[in-house]
Amino acid sequence: MRDYIVRATGAQAQIRAFACTTRNLVEAARQAHDTSPVATAALGRLLSAGAMMGCMMKGEEDLLTLQIKGDGPLKNVVVTADSKGNVKGYVTVPDVILPANAAGKLDVAGAVGQGSLSVIRDMGLKEPYVGQTMLQTGEIAEDLTYYFATSEQVPSSVGLGVLMERNNTVRQAGGFILQLMPFAEDATVSRLEQNLSGISAVTSLLDEGKTPEQMLETLLEGLDCQVVSTMSAAFACDCSKKKIERVLISLGRKEISDMIEAEQEIEVSCHFCNTRYQFSVEELKRLYEMSRKD
């Protein structure tokens, strides 16, 4: 199944809903960063959330960044999404290995630890909009649910999941976000709660072969699920040698001259996609000339 995001409504727009299948993009992220299974699960859950939250944005150029800073062995998990289904991301320590948790599942909470979740929306204004909450469980879906409720005052239900194959490639990945609009009636809320209490994990639904549309039909059963649009999703990075050059130039002359003195080609890799860019001593000298004189 290709990766895509479905946007839908329920109960005559009292509920807005998103669901996605993201196996290919999470596998692409796994390959780019050579992540361990628990790191793949953490990154894959956040990438899936980012893909859905990205398409909540209205502007063509809007950018969303989700940043988890935890005190667990993964350290930070960072995802950036645009409004067109493109996501990229990384974890600070990609090779974390932890024993399974009490439920026999990948211990994402243990790998993330305690810390904060930041949601940064850059809508081309002077200052980006930043919302931050404390992590509640470190399982990511619950943390986003808490974020929506407290920081945006939108009662939400978030489900995210990544299922690995025995050979540690990604078997299934995806998720959903359901949000209650302020005018939602009590009957809608209780029906939704009833539906959610009976639902299995996202990964089970996907592994049963359910499409995002079918997941939403299950979640919004009896609530008149109406698909509004679908959008392809992909792991995509917009880095280039030019962009990395600008980062190097911004380091200043002192840093660059240190690199030149080492008389060796340097390699810089993009955080988000791990693409490696080489700079020869000659190129570094050119960047030195372009950098600030202080």
Q: How far is the CB of 273 from Zn ion (least distance, A)?
A: 3
The alpha carbon dihedral of 94, 95, 100, 101 has a sign of negative
Q: How far is the CB of 212 from Zn ion (least distance, A)?
A: 27
Residues 64, 81 contacting (CB under 8 angstroms) = yes
* Shorter beta-carbon distance to Zn ion: residue 80 or 230: 80
Q: How far is the CB of 59 from Zn ion (least distance, A)?
A: 22
Q: How far is the CB of 129 from Zn ion (least distance, A)?
A: 24
Task: Return residues touching Zn ion (CB under 5 A).
Answer: 237, 239, 270, 272-273, 275
* Shorter beta-carbon distance to Zn ion: residue 120 or 236: 236
* Shorter beta-carbon distance to Zn ion: residue 90 or 146: 90
Q: How far is the CB of 238 from Zn ion (least distance, A)?
A: 7
How distant is the alpha carbon of residue 188 from its chain centre?
Answer: 29
Q: How far is the CB of 87 from Zn ion (least distance, A)?
A: 12
What the block records as the tokens of 210 is 């359910």
* Shorter beta-carbon distance to Zn ion: residue 130 or 247: 247
What the block records as the tokens of 41 is 């699960």
* Shorter beta-carbon distance to Zn ion: residue 92 or 275: 275
Q: Write the secondary structure of the chain as one string of H (helix), E (strand) and C (coil).
A: CCCEEEEEEECCCCEEEEEEECHHHHHHHHHHHCCCHHHHHHHHHHHHHHHHHHCCCCCCCCEEEEEEEECCCCCEEEEEEECCCEEEEEECCCCCCCCCCCCCCCCHHHHHCCEEEEEEEECCCCCCEEEEEECCCCCCHHHHHHHHHHHCCCCEEEEEEEEECCCCCEEEEEEEEEEECCCCCHHHHHHHHHHHHCCCCHHHHHHCCCCHHHHHHHHCCCCCCEEEEEEECEECCCCCHHHHHHHHHHHCHHHHHHHHHCCCCEEEECCCCCCEEEECHHHHHHHHHHCCCC
Cα(254)–Cα(244) distance, integer angstroms: 17
* Shorter beta-carbon distance to Zn ion: residue 132 or 269: 269
Q: How far is the CB of 164 from Zn ion (least distance, A)?
A: 24
* Shorter beta-carbon distance to Zn ion: residue 78 or 206: 78
* Shorter beta-carbon distance to Zn ion: residue 42 or 237: 237
Q: How far is the CB of 237 from Zn ion (least distance, A)?
A: 3
